[in-house]
Amino acid sequence: MKSRRDFLQKLTVGAGILPFAFSFTPNENPMNIFDDVQDGPILRVAIMGLGSYGNRVAEAMMDCKRAKITGVISGTPSKIKEWQSKYAIPDKNCYNYENFDAIKNNPDIDAVYIITPNALHHGQCLRVAAAGKHVICEKPMAINAKEGQEMVNACRKAGVKLLIGYRMHFEANTLEVVRLRKEGEFGTIKFFQGLSGFKIGDPTQWRLNKALAGGGAMMDIGIYSINGARYMVGEEPVWVTAQEEKTDPVKFKEGVDETITFQLGFPSGVIASCLSTYAISYLDKFFLVGEKGFAEMQPSTGYGPIKSWTNKGRLDLPHVTHQTTQMDQMAMIILDGKKPIIPVDGEEGVKDMKIIDAIFEAAKSGKRVPLKL
């Protein structure tokens, strides 16, 4: 099955020649976040959902200093056996979707990383929280803001952390562009563009099933431009407009979006113009421009290497596997109380869900929808 995961990997490997072949180093130590993995206790993680992305996370975690796979949760016994062999997971740390509440009594598991279809996140998160374990949930955290807020509330009540799998919040080029923007290198920000899309394959996959996905391209790939607009601009949007186009109503049934263009308005007057689509390939680009300069990233959110440059030249900081860095940093957030440069908590996820809810509303009504994040 050709998925977004496959597409992002191929796109980043095959990135074309970009302008500004000369380079410069705007920060003497741009990789300091990666050098900052301090010795300390290990976060013991159970992976829930052993599909393609679950496998990617697991393989990346083999290089982690502060996080380790100690358990699995799956509805497929054969997958559990494979993972047990590969990651030396004992029988007592293996669960299915019916009995995983028993992790409450398992001291070998500190956190559960939920990597299942979107519509399952809410219920699974509530159960993990009730078991007293920290939750790491793949994005989108839920299928709407109401469910997302309920997840936040449940984790807060249980006294556990809820983190969302925003791997780009720890990526070196992303953090360097954010640093340059904060330090005024681009002057007053004026405009952001985010393009997120590819041609989706298998029409029977869960990402095209509204009951499991909660939507279509917006939930899967468009959320990158939503989230990116927020951390690149450095403000929270106050309104949204959107337009939807559907060329294949058989493949993209009611409630499953094929292509949506949307615009976000920010308090300072910055406008973000973004595209989310399952119908056009090779769309993975961020562009931020201010009065004094610009930053561009293409690929901007693929698995790497990320390619980036500004009006002064290339950045292209050294590539580190995103999921390795993410899990080490999340271990320090959970165990050490570390504060990330760009938030990855449940409240961050709810903000994106509020924007997605408003985009769907604006696409239907044709009107500008106010946002209060």
* Residues forming the active site: 139, 224
Contact between 54 and 27 under an 8 Å Cβ cutoff? The reply is no
Contact between 351 and 234 under an 8 Å Cβ cutoff? The reply is no
Residue type, 259: T
Q: Long-range contacts for 365-368 (Cβ within 8 Å, ≥24 apart)?
A: 366/243, 367/241, 368/239, 368/240, 368/241, 368/265
